[in-house]
Structure 1
Amino acid sequence: MTEMRFFRKIIIILTISFGAMFVTSCTSQGVTSIEQEKPDASPQTLEVDITFEGGSGKAYIKSPVEITKTGDELVAKFVWSSKNYDYMIVNGVKYENENNGGESTFTVPIDTLEEPLTVIGDTVAMSTPHEIEYVITWNKDGEDSEENADTSNMVKVSDVTIEGFTPKGELELDYATGFKVTRYDDFDLVKIENSGNYLLIDEEKTPPLNLLDEVTVIKKPADRTYLVSTSAMDLIDKCGALSDILLSGTRESDWYVDEAKEAMARGDLIYAGKYRAPDYELILEKGCNLAIENTMIYHEPAVKAKLEELGIPVLVETSSYESHPLGRLEWIKLYGVLFNKEKEAEDYFNRKIKELEPILNEKPDTGEKVAFFHVTAAGMINVRKPGDYITKMIEMAGGHYFLEDDGDSGNALSSMNMQMEDFYEKAGDADIIIYNSTIGGEIASIDDLLDKNPLFKDFKAVKEGRVYCTERNFFQQTTGLADFIIDLNKAFNEKEEDFTYINKLD
């Protein structure tokens, strides 16, 4: 019996020793133990831009959304633009508003950032509470939309004067209202609405000593610029200043401006990270002396502050919020001043206006009813709001936009979503419908449109074969606005030839 106990002890000891040796061996060979496989449990906070669909467009969840990641768990903090939402239902679970009296706020566990999330929000803004379904699409790695950015969080800019210096005049502008350039003997003072005041001065000269803190000094030539705003590239290129753009916030594959794509292929233009995550080390290494951002940077104030801390002036351009389409085009004059290409910018602008003169002088009215839209991933119809620059181009070309301006834009966004049934009610009898491929992706035929929703077959424009699609490069090709108006006028008059930015679908 004693011998048996002895042998059992030996077996147990050998078993434990062998097990320990096995674990040690496996670990040393790269086999991770269960304990080692545990994910990092420390919480990480990130902000993710979203596309928000559903409802009338008057209330929306603000973008970006704060996401807290702890291990594999994701928790989203949804903040509404309204205080009228008392609960949300997400994945069948009801969540109560956490911010009574303020903007409705909900902290909600989510499963993934890779797929759209359908939620229900209960609004008490109406006479009785009403549940509305919405779809949230996470733009974690996607392209950020300058075209439909929210202007509600931009900054108020006051006029400034430079004591001891007398202005010599202002840059003449015909359409643009978003900026002005005041001339002085040794420098220019630029005021950009919802952005800031900027003093442009040659690098060998000394700026005035009594400048206010809110005036950003930009030394010229700004020949090592980091350009984030995609809509500015075409204007900069057309005034002959592309060589001054050294760093890009857009990858080569995402450019629809051929000259920019070619410059990146040659290595003359280098990718330096998106607006939310610039490559600071590369930017410093290349001696960057100016960053041109769009209003998406207001979602990332720490990035703007960091660039400025590194001694890089940041100019936030707001051309996409010009109320007149040709006002956007006239921003080429600002880049002419900034990059010492004023004559080239002026000549190009005047040439495009000259091409458009017959339409501007005629002020045509074809009587054509026109809808401009795209179908979202959730099947909603996204349309431009009345008064938007697209709708104004339709009117300038002689068309009538299918929605009337009731003076209630709902929010600061330039577009809104509609249910298909509502869209059909408003646009079913439209003479022409134009699919916006800039956001919705290009379609090649009417059948492609019917694949998105078979109800399109009942639209008058589909039955009569008057369906068009914009080119994907339309938004980046800012200088093409005049050509787009000419295209529209041709389509309204059924002159089906030589389109530049639209295609007729068969």
Structure 2
Amino acid sequence: MKYIKLLFLAVLFSACKGGQKTASMQTEGDTVAFKYATQISVVKYDGYTVATLKNPWKEGMTLHRYVLIPADQAIPNHIPNGTIIRTPLKQAVMFTTVHCAMLMEFDKQDCISGVADLKYIKIPWIQEQVAKGRITDVGDGMSPVIEKIIDERPDALFLSPFENSGGYGKLEDINIPIVECADYMESSPLARAEWLRFYGMLFGCEQQADSLFQAVDKHYHQLKQLASKAKTQPSVLMDKVTGSVWYVPGGKSTIGQMIKDANGRYPWADDEHSGSISLPFETVLERAGETDVWLFRYSSDHDITYDELLGEHHGYNQFSAFKHQTAYGCDVERSPFYEESPFHPERLLNDFIRIFHPEIEGLAPLRYYVKVSR
């Protein structure tokens, strides 16, 4: 009997170990390989997908974890902690114009049931649908009308997180998943564009999103290779005074990276910021007064002139690009800059290369920037 008991215990122990091994194998998933994006990771399991967003302001911390579960399947018994999202999303309230444009490119515009900050959404179709009552204007993005959002019964809310925002107030209390669109915190243009793949998973068009990103990636590198052959490398100044300060893109920002990829020299290329840097006018003049090209964004119903620029700030005429009339303006009111460039950096790169290296042939016409006239 003693030997029988020992044999029984050995078999039982072996069976228990085997059960643990099986359970361990069941918890293993397939990691989705991202080529450039560093702020997001995705692992696919049997019956669900886990997407984890890094906190871009606190290293080693998680901003949000999502558990994507097909809407036609039951919720598995054992899933990790996180916000459950039933996919594909059918209705969503969008707080940003760029993600509205993205859904239209996915041919998922009918999924937009509501928008915030309508005045900043320059997409004619969205404006028309709101006017017809087919899309609900939920008000200001910082203080939306909660009742309107609840009435829409969306599957998710899409908004951009900010450092030290203090949360999302009442939006967190209405039991609607909040998708934090932290794509803008990526440090390279292609890394941000690659978030298309994550958004495609949410709306049931993953293959389409993957194909779109592959096309963007390929075209971007073709343009970069073309620019690398240019014999000149002009220095570039970005944007202009806002209020009492001048916000210039940091050296690790997507714009800073694109200037480099377009074979241009950026005065703040060695800076470590991935966002904008606020500087006094005098500092910008001292460091970038002799730059060859000046690119800036503005908002108007007409093309800006040098006289208007001088009317905004009398010091602009001290810059070499002003004196030699090599300034280019991007009117964000009349061009799709904010709608397109985040997920189509190749289009903006084309503009940069065409401006920096006019001798290069085969480029598309300028899409966002226009040369400033007198």
Same fold by TM (over 0.5)?
Answer: yes
SS of equivalent to 1:398: coil
Are 2:327 and 1:467 aligned?
A: yes
Residues 1:320 and 1:300: Cα distance change in structure 2 (over 3 Å): same
**Equivalent residue for 1:390?**
255
CA distance in 2, matches of 1:302, 1:500: 36
**Equivalent residue for 2:68?**
200
1:1-35 CA-partner distances (Å, limit 9, x unpaired): xxxxxxxxxxxxxxxxxxxxxxxxxxxxxxxxxxx
Q: Would the aligned equivalents of 1:188 and 1:199 in 2 still touch at CA under 8 Å?
A: yes
CA distance in 2, matches of 1:356, 1:171: 22
Are 2:265 and 1:400 aligned?
A: yes
Larger Rg: 1
RMSD between aligned residues: 2.6
1:22-73 CA-partner distances (Å, limit 9, x unpaired): xxxxxxxxxxxxxxxxxxxxxxxxxxxxxxxxxxxxxxxxxxxxxxxxxxxx
CA distance in 1, matches of 2:86, 2:163: 22
CA distance in 2, matches of 1:467, 1:178: 35
Q: Which has the higher strand share?
A: 1
Q: Runs of 5+ in structure 1 lacking a partner? A: 1-161
CA distance in 2, matches of 1:476, 1:189: 28
In the alignment, residue 354 of structure 2 is paired with which amino acid? Answer: K
Map 1:234-245 → 2, pairs under 5 A: 234-245=101-112
CA distance in 1, matches of 2:175, 2:164: 19
Map 1:128-207 → 2, pairs under 5 A: 165-194=26-55, 195-207=63-75
Residues 1:403 and 1:467: Cα distance change in structure 2 (over 3 Å): same
Q: 2:160 aligns with which of 284, 287, 294?
A: 294
CA distance in 2, matches of 1:456, 1:358: 35
Shift of 1:451: 1.4
Shift of 1:336: 0.7
Shift of 1:491: 0.4
In the alignment, residue 202 of structure 2 is paired with which amino acid? Answer: L
**Equivalent residue for 1:248?**
115
Indicate the structure whose relative CO is greater, using CA pairs within 8 Å and at least 6 residues apart. 2
CA distance in 2, matches of 1:376, 1:272: 29
Q: 1:476 aligns with which of 339, 348, 352?
A: 339
SS of equivalent to 2:240: strand
Shift of 1:289: 1.8
SS of equivalent to 2:68: strand
Q: Would the aligned equivalents of 1:372 and 1:433 in 2 still touch at CA under 8 Å?
A: yes
Map 1:30-429 → 2, pairs under 5 A: 165-194=26-55, 195-213=63-81, 215-251=82-118, 253-296=119-162, 299-301=165-167, 303=169, 306-362=170-226, 364=228, 366-378=232-244, 380-407=245-272, 409=273, 414-429=275-290
**Equivalent residue for 2:10?**
none
- Greater shift, 216-225 or 487-496, is seen at 487-496
CA distance in 2, matches of 1:345, 1:357: 18
CA distance in 2, matches of 1:450, 1:309: 49
Q: Would the aligned equivalents of 2:159 and 2:179 in 1 still touch at CA under 8 Å?
A: yes
Q: Would the aligned equivalents of 1:230 and 1:476 in 2 still touch at CA under 8 Å?
A: yes
Q: Would the aligned equivalents of 2:250 and 2:271 in 1 still touch at CA under 8 Å?
A: no
Shift of 1:254: 2.2
**Equivalent residue for 1:444?**
304
Q: What is the TM-score when the length of structure 1 is the normalising length?
A: 0.61
Residues 1:169 and 1:441: Cα distance change in structure 2 (over 3 Å): farther
How many residue pairs were aligned? Answer: 335
CA distance in 1, matches of 2:171, 2:67: 18
CA distance in 1, matches of 2:249, 2:302: 17
Q: 1:487 aligns with which of 325, 344, 351?
A: 351
In the alignment, residue 111 of structure 2 is paired with which amino acid? Answer: D
CA distance in 1, matches of 2:64, 2:89: 18
Q: Would the aligned equivalents of 2:234 and 2:264 in 1 still touch at CA under 8 Å?
A: yes
CA distance in 1, matches of 2:254, 2:97: 18
SS of equivalent to 1:343: helix
Q: Would the aligned equivalents of 2:252 and 2:271 in 1 still touch at CA under 8 Å?
A: no
Q: What is the TM-score when the length of structure 2 is the normalising length?
A: 0.81
SS of equivalent to 1:475: helix
Q: Runs of 5+ in structure 2 lacking a partner? A: 1-22, 56-62
CA distance in 2, matches of 1:394, 1:470: 16
Shift of 1:346: 1.7
In the alignment, residue 264 of structure 1 is paired with which amino acid? Answer: V
CA distance in 1, matches of 2:174, 2:283: 51
CA distance in 1, matches of 2:331, 2:80: 45
Q: Report the identity percentage.
A: 22
In the alignment, residue 217 of structure 2 is paired with which amino acid? Answer: I
CA distance in 1, matches of 2:293, 2:42: 40
SS of equivalent to 2:147: helix
SS of equivalent to 1:476: helix
**Equivalent residue for 1:453?**
313
Q: Which has the higher helix share?
A: 2
SS of equivalent to 1:400: coil
Q: Would the aligned equivalents of 2:67 and 2:80 in 1 still touch at CA under 8 Å?
A: no
Shift of 1:300: 4.7
Residues 1:488 and 1:302: Cα distance change in structure 2 (over 3 Å): closer
CA distance in 2, matches of 1:400, 1:297: 30
CA distance in 1, matches of 2:124, 2:164: 28
Shift of 1:433: 0.7
